Amino acid sequence: MIRGVTVVPVTGPEAVIRDGAVAVADGEIVYVGPADGLPDGFTADRVLGGPGMVALPGLVNAHTHAAMTLFRSYADDLPLMKWLEEAIWPLEQKLIAEDVYWGTLLACAEMLLGGTTTFADMYFFMDRVAAAVEKSGIRASLSRGLIGIAPNAEKALKESRAFVREWHGRANGRITCMLGPHAPYTCPPDYLRKVVAMAAELGVGIHIHVAETRQEVEGIKKQYGCSPVALLAETGLLDLPVLAAHCVHLSPEDIAILAAKGAAVAHNPESNMKLASGIAPVTELLTAGVTVGLGTDGAASNNNLDMLEEMRSAALLQKVAREDPEALPAYAALEMATIGGARALGLGDKIGTLQPGKRADIILLNLRRPHLYPPHDVVAHIVYAAQAGDVDTVIVDGNVVVEGGRLLTLDLDTVLDNARHCALRLVGKPKARSLL
């Protein structure tokens, strides 16, 4: 049980419970409300919380490549395709399973300590990603990345099927799976149709990068005579549950297609800013009724996995793009980072708000800090002023994984040392400013 806290359940802009309580049994939320409204005789094995603490749903990172923590600050200040083709893809050729394991554990540590309880991942060696998720205690939606133009494209599809069969629903349901075709420019329509058939057969969704850069949209138009979104619709991909990462360059027709098909978007404002890809039309997407979650993208293009920071960036970016301070208000950003992301991952019934019946993915922020005083508006504080270091407690599926700002599931030094060794082996000769 959590008590003596302010509860922000993310069930409505004004829903704030002072002196609130959240009770959990068998990993499920069984009560959310005023502390004095708990049923008579209610007892708890363990009580968390206290003055200055705020309880809210765990944050959902709706798009990342966790193991890319190994490439953090390796290649910066480049546009997407130069960054991928000249820096990242050559390095990814050298990845081995253990790199992905340690890189993912490093990401899980960073995310949990920053209040993220769920992430959507697309990468390679996904068995090792799943093992890292299982060990760290985080929740994740995992997709084996598929590059349709690569020599191993067919083998990768078969591996995806085996991965989904082995891992979907594992770790007490903390792990779910999707198929992960990388993007329309690396997966031709015939390959996408095979992915669609396999996703339908397995009953899972599809996680894909879409319309990230102007160059992508122009390239797809030249090759296929339509936009990336229209191309996906033509292959049947949008008839399944879809998590479309980026969606920066969309026409009004594209937005209407996404809304009509019920596709969800993962917005990645910091990665989009850093790679200078552009500004996603988040306000228009939300107005059209599209589900929008928030993601960091990989740590190589962000360069962190901090969802509190990402919320602030998302809100500020819409305001500056539209020259409208009312664009993407604090509560809308908080929704995107919680229930929006949960819905985008197909987990809207399970996580994303604090409500009875949902799994207990809960974080406690400590507001008794100089930069959070005085607490005029708890939602504005969470979005505009809080930092990862304010995360005191993190609970995933009813298990306490961070307490007093300390990670309980992993030995941090071991993770840092192994990640450093992997990074060193991958880059070979460190660059001049490297501290490896």
What's the token pair of residue 265?
A: 């978007």
Q: Is 301 in the site for ligand LTUXU72L (CB under 6 A)?
A: yes
Query: What are the strands, taking DSSP E only, across 153-257?
Result: 175-181, 205-210, 242-246
Is 54 a binder of ligand LTUXU72L (CB under 6 A)?
no
Q: What are phi and psi of 16, to 5 degrees?
A: -135, 125
CB atoms within 10 A of CB 371: 11
Site for ligand LTUXU72L in 176-195 (CB under 6 A): 182-183
Q: Which residue has the tokens 């899980």?
A: 108
Residues of this chain that interact with Zn ion (CB under 5 A) are 297
* 323 annotated as belonging to a binding site for a ligand: no
Q: Is 253 annotated as a binding residue?
A: no
Cβ nearer to ligand LTUXU72L, comparing 74 with 124? 124
CB atoms within 10 A of CB 82: 12
Decide: helix, strand or coil at residue 226.
coil
145 binds, among Zn ion, ligand LTUXU72L, none (CB under 5 to 8 A by kind): ligand LTUXU72L
Q: Minimum distance between the CB of residue 77 and Zn ion, rounded to whole angstroms?
A: 18
| Closest by Cα among 68, 63, 143 to 100 | 68
* Among the listed residues 48, 49, 65, 336, the single contact to ligand LTUXU72L using CB under 6 A: 65
209 is in an annotated binding site: yes
Of the candidate spans 122-130, 163-171, 281-289, 390-398, the one that interacts with ligand LTUXU72L by CB under 6 A turns out to be 122-130
**How far is 70 from 40, CA to CA, in rounded Å?**
51
Where are the alpha helices (H) located in 68-206, listed in sequence order? 80-82, 89-92, 97-113, 126-136, 153-167, 189-202
63 annotated as belonging to a binding site for a ligand: yes
| Shortest distance, position 133 Cβ to ligand LTUXU72L, whole Å | 16
Give the x-and-dash track for 210-249 against ligand LTUXU72L (CB under 6 A): --x-------------------------------------
Residue 47 exposure: Cα atoms within 13 Å on the Cβ side? 10
CB of 200 to Zn ion, least distance (A): 24
**313 is a site residue for ligand LTUXU72L (CB under 6 A):** no
CB 362, CB 2: distance < 8 Å: yes
Token digits of residue 412: 């941090």
User: Which of 106, 78, 119 lies closest to 310, judged by CA?
Assistant: 119
CB of 107 to Zn ion, least distance (A): 13
> Minimum Å distance from CB 89 to ligand LTUXU72L?
6
Known binding residue 297? Answer is yes
Instruction: Confirm or reject binding of residue 306 to ligand LTUXU72L (CB under 6 A).
Output: no
**Alpha carbons 367 and 375: distance in angstroms, whole number:** 8
CA 374, CA 15: separation in Å to the nearest integer? Answer: 20
Give the residues across from 403 on adjacent strands. 406
User: 């075709």: which residue's tokens?
Assistant: 181
Does the annotation list 110 as a binding residue? no
Residue number of the CB closest to ligand LTUXU72L reads 145
Q: Is residue 99 within the footprint of ligand LTUXU72L (CB under 6 A)?
A: no
Q: How far is the CB of 277 from ligand LTUXU72L (least distance, A)?
A: 8
- Closest CB to ligand LTUXU72L among 274 and 359? 274
| Percent of residues in the chain assigned helix, strand, coil, to nearest 5 | 45, 20, 35
Q: Is 218 annotated as a binding residue?
A: no
Residue length of the chain: 436
92 is in an annotated binding site: yes
- Annotated binding-site positions: 63, 65, 92, 144, 182, 209, 212, 297
- Annotated binding-site positions for substrate: 92, 144, 182, 212, 297
> Which residues of the shown chain bind ligand LTUXU72L in the complex (CB under 6 A)?
65, 80, 84, 88, 92, 122-124, 145, 147, 182-183, 209, 212, 271, 297-298, 301
